[in-house]
Every structure is written in structure tokens, then in C-alpha cells.
Structure 1
Amino acid sequence: MLYKDEINCTVDHKFAIYKSKRKKKNIEVQQYANPVLESAYFISKNSKDVFIPQDSIQEAANTIYSNMKKLKYSVSVWKQHELHPKVANEDAINWIFLVDLLNFSFWSDLEKEKGSDCRERFSIYYKDKIYSGYWSLCAAINRAIDEGIQITNPSVYASPENLSDDKIKYIFRSHTSEEIFLLQERINCMREAGKVLVEKFDGSFINCVKQSNNSAMNLLKIITDNFESFRDESEFLGRKVQFYKRAQILIADIWACFEGYDYGSFNDIDDITMFADYRVPQALFHLGALSYSQNLHNIINSFTLLPNGSQLEIEIRGCSIWSVELLKRLIQQKIKQDNTLDLIPILNTIILDFYIWDFANEHKNTFKVGIHRTRSIFY
């Protein structure tokens, strides 16, 4: 059963902007400030194999809220991760841009036989620690900076004359025999984005941020209009749908790095949605905020590849976004009724996604359903 959009709770207009409702070919379409949320709503209402369970999403919201209160989870958690920049400045913005430009496809085929923590998977050895997944990307970038490579400078990575393909391969050298996935695609992303930044934005992503006029939605449009590799779109039931996972997390990371101030000040930051990847849906399923048909469950647990843009993959991503939107509304209602508001000073979808992602990575070995496997530059 799909959890009804007419969820019985008060929704603050800042968090879910409803503009209009229209009918087209007997399919209900709802408009929001963020096209990603509009797409997610549409997908969730027409999904055949992914569902948002009405009977357990409330319990999931209770569990998440309780845990977030205990942890005093807030925007400051971003800087607490040891590999993230600690100083919020232009260098940090260009670091974040490069990381989120390359923030995709870290799952390994080795997990099928050896589990998600297998030691043979691609990893980076940095400062006496071994990092895998997203953290391997951060570690590789930081290691390159320590080695004197100007890896975060767009004018450097835009050109093979300044940074050769072989040098980029060296930067992402693995601690194991398994190499980083989609290396050539990552190089292509760097060349394309670096060239755009040099030719249109004076060689720094900070100028994109300045042009946004403190609007996350303006910045989202600047990113997706100008950088092809951030254009995370598909077609579902004859309609274009948007996910913009990396573009949105880029904005969210800047907001979190600056803790909502200076270049991280966006008057509509709460319009950003959940970042539709392969890890958060797994956690949502575990928490009871998402469910799959038996067919899809079997496909996922048999490690079958789901092509990017396939209906099953689109349903997983779209329903995950809408599930987190509903979780946010339920938790916001709880916050309004709670006397301990200081325990969660800010609750938007970004904070909620950060928490669920951290939860997923901490507990992934206990989950009964795996990640869906899609090899893509978009997540």
C-alpha cells in the first residue's frame, strides 16, 4: 500500500511548497518548488514494485527521531567527519565541488561473495587508515593535495596538459588490486566540468554560488543547466523525471560546511530533497519506510544489475525520495509537540538524509536486503 499524500499532519510551507494540482491523461501531477520532489511524488503514485508502507512508516519516523535526539544530530556533523574540510572558504567549496563531481559508483562486485566490508575491494590508504566507499574518494583527494597536486583547481583538471589521465589514475591508485570504478567516466567528468568552470565561471565554483543569490533552487538550475554530468534525469511513463542526486548533495555539502552562513546561506535550502543513491533506500527498507515486491526483492538479493533509467531503478529512487519527504513531515510534527527542541535545532531533508546514510553505513551488515546495483555516473 502506498502511504497517502494526504498524510495526517501539519506541513510547514517552508518545507513542502505546494503550488497547484492538475490532471493530465488521468494521472495526477503535483507541483513543488523542486522538480525532484514533483518527480518523486509522481513516481510514488504510479509505482508497481516499490511501496511506502502506511502501517510502518510512522514507526520508522519514531525510531529515527528517537535516535537523532540521542545523538543531538545537527548540521555540525558534516565537519566532524575526519576527511571533510574544517575551514569554510573558497578552497573548501572547490574541494566539495570536485568530490561531488566524482561522488558515484563505489559498490564492488566482490561484495557478492565476500560482503560489503571485504578487504579486497577498492580502497585508499591514507594517514595510516584504509578508507572505502565515499570516504575512499575523499581520502584520495586529500592524499593528492598532501602530495602537492592541485587536484581541486578546475584550471588544472580541465586540461590533460596540466593533469594527465595517467596522473589522475595515479591519484586514485588503490590499496588493493581492485581499481576505482568508471575511471574514464570520472576523467571525462573532470574535463567537462573543469572546462565549463574556466570558460564560464572564472575558474571557480564559488562564482556559481554567488550567481545563485542565496537560492538553493537557483544554484540547482545553474548546476544542471551548465554541467552535463550533473543532469541526472530519466523518463517514466512518458514523462521526464529528475533526481539530481549529485547536484543536490553538492549544494547540501556547501550549506553544511558553512553551517548555513556566508556562502552556505540559502533562503530555500529546505526545498532540497533526499539524495537518491543506492545506500539510503537499503536503510529505508530496513526501517520499514520502504517495501519491495517479491520480484524486486529477489532481483536485488540475487545481485542482478538494474540498468540506469530502468523502471525498477526509477521506482526505487523516486519512492525513496518521497518516503524521506514523508518521514520529514512526521518528524517535524513530533518536534512541534516536543519540549526538547534544542536536541534537533534544524530538521530538514538534508539532515535526515545525512543521518540515514550514516545509519546505513554503520548497520549495513545487519540488513536483510542488499543495495540495488546500478553502475552509473549519477550515484
Structure 2
Amino acid sequence: MDNNKDLVINESEVQQFVNPVLESAYFISKNSKDVTIPQDSIQEAANTIYSNMKKTKYSVSVWKQHELHPKVANEDAIDWIFLVDLLNFSFWSDLEKEKGSNCKERFSIYYKDKIYTGYWSLCAAINRAIDEGIPFTTPSIYASSENLSDDKVKYIFRSHTNEEIPLLQERINCMREAGKVLVEKFDGSFINCIKQSNNSAMKLLKIITDNFECFRDEYEFLGRKVQFYKRAQILIADTWACFEGQNYGSFNDIDEITMFADYRVPQALHHLGALSYSQNLHNIINSFTLLPNGSQLEIEIRGCSIWSVELLKRLVQQKIKQDNTLESIPIVNAIILDFYIWDFASEHKHTLKIGIHRTRSIFY
């Protein structure tokens, strides 16, 4: 492989990682048994990703092009992004085991003559509530059951089918906790967290994980603590993407954010040849067996996914430097790669080589 040097990491470099998530991912990948990053095919995966991103001119502006995302970067958009990423977890359906991933009876939201599932069902439910005059994105409203009852939240997430949104009570609990923290510590708005960060994504990550327990995505692995901070990082990334690096989205260290370890991106990384699973793990995933949150297999999948995207980022950046054509794409970071791979997974979800791993968790 011509770019093997880009995959070699020395310990002094690891010690300089400023994001604990990246250091955790490196540690997990070095000690993983059932998930590996195949050095012989990750280069081909990087080539495929780079080629496709060039073809589609993929960039941070894609975020706003999604039909349900805010089109105006303002304070209302900040409230919307915070609530979305507060509730951005666990959308897979229990019905898929018997009826397949294309099951039409799974939880979905009917909005503006379209049916949405997965993450997009969350966006659609929130937008539908706003259209109905419910101030759902206001922290002081969702912080209290007196202002927004549990029954009202259940109404907001009313499904187009008989299956309810997974973990509804856990979502309500997250809203109450985070809304209360915003009201009591940050004058009722996530904007004040952003202001306190002084344009540092890493400082904002610490503010979020120090103050909001429901964003504190960390575990014990082989005798040490490891962090993933999936929703906390995507909250920062979505803010950056919505504002395209300006105003509230201006962070001088945004490239320190890693990918967001969920269940869809690992599936695509495996398909692209950037992750490899043991036969044991293949059997578990294919049998729809639940992986407990915090179990070794689940931690290996998520940690190796983060490190795989870090290596892909380095390889793609190397290709950008070598590409002198006018069609070359701008420098990419882990956020852009995650956005692209997630979109790829969603677009090809019925043809990917393996299913998603299944874990019920508020963290992804």
C-alpha cells in the first residue's frame, strides 16, 4: 500500500490527542478481538469514498440541503439542533427481526405528505409540532411537565403506524434533565454554552459532558474509562454545519471532533472494507441478537469505527494533496466523512453486506 505511512501512529502522537474520544478509540482498536481494521482494504475504501465525494461535490453545505433541517442559521436553529441531538438515539425497530429492514409497520412520522423513519422521523415530529404551534424546542417548556406534559410529548411523537417511538420515557427523561440544566445554569439556552466555549469545540464538548448527564457516553473497557460522546459531538458538529463555520458555528479546533459512533456508520464501514468482524460477531448481528450497552463487543464496534474513520480521514487528506485537478474537494475532517458515510448507509441500507448491530441505548 502506497500510503501505509499514513496508518502508522506512534505513541508520542497518541499522547498529543486533545480529544479523549480519539485516544479512547485508539486504545480500543489496539485491544479489540472481534473487530479489526483491515490494513489491506482500507486504502480501497478511502479511494471509493474520495471518488464519490468528488463526484457529488460533497461538503458541509450538504447539511442544510436535507429537507427537514433548518434552512436559516439563527437562534431558533440552535434550539432545534439541541433538542434533535438530545433525542437523537435508538430508532431501529423490533419488528425488523420478523419482517425485515423495509418493514412498513415500524414507527414512522407522516409529515407534509411523506412518511419518515429513523432519524428523519425525529426531525419530522419536531417540525410537525412547531407547525402545530407547540413551542417544543424551547428548553423552559420541555424542562417541566407542567409546561409540557408527558401525554403531550407522546402526542408529538404519535406514529403513522401502531409501533411507538422506542424509549419514549427515556427521551422524556432526557428532555426534563437537559431542559432543567439549561434553565438553571445557562439562562435557558444552549447558546450560552456556545458563548462560554470561546470558539473551542473541545471546550464546548467538556461543557456539555460536565453538565448534562444524558450526554455522558462513557464506559469501562479493559480496566480503564473510554469515552464516545456521540450525541455531544454531533451536537457540536450540527451547529458547525448549520452555520457553516460562522457565528455560533465558529470553532477554531473543529477538526478535533471525531466521527459519531452509532449503528449505521459501522455497518457502512464494514461494507466498504474499512472494518472487519469475527465470525462470532457476524453470527450475533445476523441473528438480531441484542448487544448490551457497554458490552465488550459493542465497545469494540464503536471504538474501531472511530479509529477507522480517523485513518480514512488521513488517507483522504493525502489524496486531496495529491489531486491537482479542478474537481478536487476541500480538506475534509471526521465530521464530513461521518456525514457522507451515514448518508451512504441510509441510501444503500437494503444492499449493505451486513445488518446493523442492535443496542438499546440513549447514547446513539
Both structures adopt the same fold (TM-score exceeding 0.5):
yes
**Alignment match, 1:196:** 181
User: Which of 21, 24, 49 lines up with 1:64 in the alignment?
Assistant: 49
Tell me the distance in 1 between the aligned counterparts of 2:22 and 2:4: 16
The one-letter amino acid paired with 2:341 is: I
Q: Which residue of 1 aligns with 2:168?
A: 183
> Counterpart of 2:35?
50
1:74 aligned to 51, 55, 59, which one?
Answer: 59
Question: 2:119 is aligned with what amino acid?
Answer: Y
How many residues are paired up? 363
Calculate the TM-score normalised by the size of structure 2: 0.97
Indicate which of 281, 287, 295 corresponds to 2:266: 281
Correspondence list, 1:1-379, <5 A: 7-9=4-6, 20=12, 30-340=15-325, 343-379=328-364
* Unpaired segments ≥5 residues, structure 2: none
Aligned partner of 1:133: which letter? Answer: G
1:109 deviation in Å?
A: 1.2
Task: Flag the 1:30–1:160 CA change in 2: closer, same or farther, 3 A.
Answer: same
C-alpha distance in 2 between matches for 1:340 and 1:376 = 44
RMSD: 1.7
Paired residue secondary structure (2:68): coil
* Deviation at residue 340 of structure 1 after TM alignment: 3.0
Whole-angstrom distance in 2 between the partners of 1:178 and 1:36: 34
Q: How far is the alpha carbon of 1:113 from its aligned partner?
A: 2.3
Give SS of 1:142's match: helix
TM-score, normalised via structure 1 length: 0.93
Structure 1 segments of 4+ aligned residues over 2 angstroms from their partners: 18-21, 340-343
Deviations 1:115-170 (A, max 9, x none): 22211000000000000000000000000000000000000000000000000000
Counterpart of 1:295 in structure 2: which amino acid? N
Shift of 1:20: 3.5
What SS does the aligned partner of 1:366 have? coil
Q: Deviations over 1:76-130 (max 9, x none)?
A: 0000000000000110001000000000000011111222221100000000000
Q: CA shift at 1:194, angstroms?
A: 0.2
Going from structure 1 to structure 2, the CA distance change for 1:30 and 1:113 (only over 3 Å counts) comes to farther
Q: Distance in 2 between matches of 1:30 and 1:238?
A: 19
**1:75·1:346 contact (CA, 8 Å) conserved in 2?**
no
Change (3 A) 1:137 1:247: same
Residue ranges of structure 1 left out of the alignment (5+ in a row): 22-28
The answer to whether the 8 Å contact 1:19/1:32 transfers is: no
Structure 1 vs Structure 2: percent identity of aligned residues?
88
- The offset of 1:19, in angstroms, is 8.6
Secondary structure of the structure 1 residue equivalent to 2:148:
coil
* Contact 1:103/1:137, CA 8 A, preserved across alignment: yes
Alpha-carbon offset, residue 341 of structure 1:
6.0
